[in-house]
Amino acid sequence: MAQIELRNVGKRWGDFVGVHDFNLTIPDKEFLVLLGPSGCGKTTTMRMIAGLEDASNGDILIDGTVVNGMEPKDRDVAMVFQSYALYPNMNVYENIRFPLKVRGIDPKLHDEKVRRASAMVELDDFLHRKPAELSGGQRQRVALARAIVREPNVFLMDEPLSNLDAKLRVSTRAQIKNLSHELAVTTIYVTHDQIEAMTLADRVVVMEKGVVQQVGNPTEIYDRPANTFVAGFIGNPAMNLIEGQVRAGVFTAPGVEISGLSAPDGAATLGYRAEDASVVEFGGHINAPIYSLELLGDATMVTVRIGQTLVNVRADKSFRAEIGDAVSISVPAGICHMFDGQTGARIEAQDAS
C-alpha cells in the first residue's frame, strides 16, 4: 500500500529551475505516467521521489510520511532504468536474486521469490544465461523481474523501453501493462513517448520546462488538451494547429475559413485531429495544394501547407492524387479546439462572449 504526495516540490541548480512547484497526489495502486520532451523535468521528479536527487523545496510523502531526508534504500521503492544495469558476471537467476541478498531476506525464500518473478516476465528458460547472451528485450525483462522480486511499495520506471526496437517496444509494453494489473502496485513511469503514456497510464502528467501542463486520464488529455503544447504533443499524428483570427464566430487564416465557432474575437489558434476531418470534392473549410501523401496501409495521410504551417487529414486508403493537386478539407466547427492566440490556453465554449 503506497500513496505518494508531492507538495510544492521543486528542483533548482543555481538559477536554472528543473522542476517548478509540483503538486500531485498519486493514489495507492495507480499507474501514473510522467510525459514530456527531453529536459522537461520528468526524470528529475522521479529521482526526487526515489531519493537520488534532493528536492530544493517542498515535501515528498509516502503513505503520509515525509521522506525528504530518507536514504533511497529506506523508501521501499524499486527502480527500472533505461540502461538495464545488470551484473555481467552473474546469470539471470543471480541478477534477479541480488536484491534479496542485499536486503537480508531469508535465503530459504529466495528460490521461490526468484522463480515467481521470472515466471511473471517469462524468463524461466533463461535463468542460467548471462546478460551478454540475451536480447535487449530479455535484458529489460530481467531488470523488471529484479524490481518485482523486492515486492516494493512503489515501482519507478525511467524510460524502460527506450533501448528496444519498435516491435519489442510493443510486446514489452503489453507485458508491463499486464504486470501492473497483476501486481497492483503504485507505479510511476517516465517517458517521452506519448503512445506509451496513452496505452499504459491510469493518469498522465504532461510536463514542459519543469512545469506541469495538464493532469488527466488518457482520454481527457487527448480529447480536451489544456493548451497548445499538450495539443501538439499528444496524438499520432499530433493535433493540427493553425494560427489565425476569429471574428463573429468565424475563424480565418490563409486558405482557411471555418464558421460557427464559440470563441471570442481576436487572435486564436484552431486545432483539429487528422482523423476527425475529411477530404471532400468541393466546399471544404481548408483549400490548398497537396504537400505530401503517405500511404499508411489502412488510410492515406494527406498533408497541405497553410502559410508556413503543415496540416494533415486522414483520407481513405483508396484516395488517389498527386503532390501539387488542389484538395479541399472539411473541418466542421464541432471537431475544432480553440486556443488563446497569446497564451495558448484552451478556450472553452462557455467562455465565449
* Mean pLDDT computed over 225-250: 95
Q: Where residue 173 falls among pLDDT bands split at 50, 70, 90?
A: confident
Tell the residue number behind the cell numbers 465557432, with chain if given: 261
Residue 53: what pLDDT? 95
- Residue range 238-264, pLDDT digits in tens: 999 999 999 999 999 999 999 999 899
Distance between CA atoms of 142 and 212, rounded to whole angstroms?
A: 32
Tell the residue number behind the cell numbers 510525459, with chain if given: 35
Strands 16-26 and 31-35: unpaired
Q: Tell me which of 143 and 33 has the higher pLDDT.
A: 33
- State percent of the chain over pLDDT 70: 99
Distance between CA atoms of 79 and 187, rounded to whole angstroms?
A: 10
Distance between CA atoms of 195 and 244, rounded to whole angstroms?
A: 29
Residue 310: what pLDDT? 96
Q: Where residue 174 falls among pLDDT bands split at 50, 70, 90?
A: confident
Contact status, residue 80 vs residue 155, Cβ threshold 8 Å = yes
Q: Where residue 353 falls among pLDDT bands split at 50, 70, 90?
A: very low
Residue 29: what pLDDT? 94
- State percent of the chain over pLDDT 90: 75
Q: What domains sit in the chain, N to C, each tagged with a CATH number?
A: 4-228 (3.40.50.300), 237-351 (2.40.50.140)
- Mean model confidence pLDDT for the chain: 92
Distance between CA atoms of 71 and 328, rounded to whole angstroms?
A: 61
Residue 54: what pLDDT? 96
* Model pTM score: 0.89
Distance between CA atoms of 327 and 110, rounded to whole angstroms?
A: 66
Distance between CA atoms of 67 and 54, rounded to whole angstroms?
A: 10
Q: Where residue 84 falls among pLDDT bands split at 50, 70, 90?
A: confident
3-state DSSP of the chain: CCCEEEEEEEEEECCEEEEEEEEEEECCCCEEEEECCCCCCHHHHHHHHHCCCCCCEEEEEECCEECCCCCHHHCCEEEECCCCCCCCCCCHHHHHHHHHHHCCCCHHHHHHHHHHHHHHCCCHHHCCCCHHHCCHHHHHHHHHHHHHCCCCCEEEEECCCCCCCHHHHHHHHHHHHHHHHHHCCEEEEEECCHHHHHHHCCEEEEEECCEEEEEECHHHHHHCCCEHHHHHHCCCCCCEEEEEEEECCEEEECCEEECCCCCCCEEEEEEECCCCCEEECCCCCEEEEEEEEEECCCEEEEEEEECCEEEEEEEECCCCCCCCCEEEEECCHHHCEEEECCCCEECCHHHCC
Residue 150: what pLDDT? 86
Distance between CA atoms of 330 and 321, rounded to whole angstroms?
A: 17
Tell the residue number behind the cell numbers 476569429, with chain if given: 246
Q: Where residue 98 falls among pLDDT bands split at 50, 70, 90?
A: very high
Strands 240-247 and 211-216: unpaired
- Residue range 33-50, pLDDT digits in tens: 999 999 999 999 999 999
- Residue range 287-309, pLDDT digits in tens: 999 999 999 999 999 999 998 99
Q: Which residues touch 185 (CB under 8 Å, ≥6 apart)?
A: 2, 29, 152, 153, 154, 155
Report whether pLDDT(351) > 50: no
Report whether pLDDT(352) > 50: no
Q: Where residue 1 falls among pLDDT bands split at 50, 70, 90?
A: low
CA dihedral 130, 137, 188, 237 (to 10 degrees): 160
* Mean pLDDT computed over 323-335: 96
